[in-house]
Amino acid sequence: MPATTHLSPLVHPERDEITVESVLRALADPVRLAIVRQLATADTEVSCGGLDVPVTKSTLTHHLGILRQAGVISGRQEGTTRFNSLRRNDLDDLFPGLLDGVLAARR
């Protein structure tokens, strides 16, 4: 019998469940901010392996989960690959100027 891979479903808050506090908490970490910066400049979704961050795979998964749960990014599963994208439209509509200000801040 072939082995099956059980991946947990990706949890995303609905747009009206996203709070400025959760977004700011998620963006306060330098690794998560680096992830968001990369997603903001990408023209398309980025796989987990396509993100350039100095952490282990398990730590990256942890950071992506926090960003997803805060409503900063969305993710989708395709086979064993997870693709991530920035929820820019939702964030810009809910908190005008916040994301642009964070991304423009000096590193």
* Cα dihedral 34, 65, 48, 58 sign: positive
Checking if the pLDDT of 1 tops 50, the result is no
Average predicted confidence (pLDDT) for the chain: 91
Alpha-helical regions (H) of 42-78: 57-70
24-55 tens-digit pLDDT? 999 999 999 999 999 999 989 999 999 999 99
Q: Is 94 within 8 Å of 22 (Cβ atoms)?
A: no
**Predicted structure pTM score:** 0.88
Give the pLDDT mean for 8-31.
Answer: 91
pLDDT tier at 7 (50, 70, 90 boundaries)?
low
Whose CA is closest to 52, among 78, 66, 67, 34?
34
**What are the residues facing 9 on neighbouring strands?**
none
DSSP assigned state of 102: H
- Per DSSP, helices labelled H in 1-107 are 20-27, 30-41, 57-70, 88-94, 98-104
Mean pLDDT, rounded, for 77-102: 95
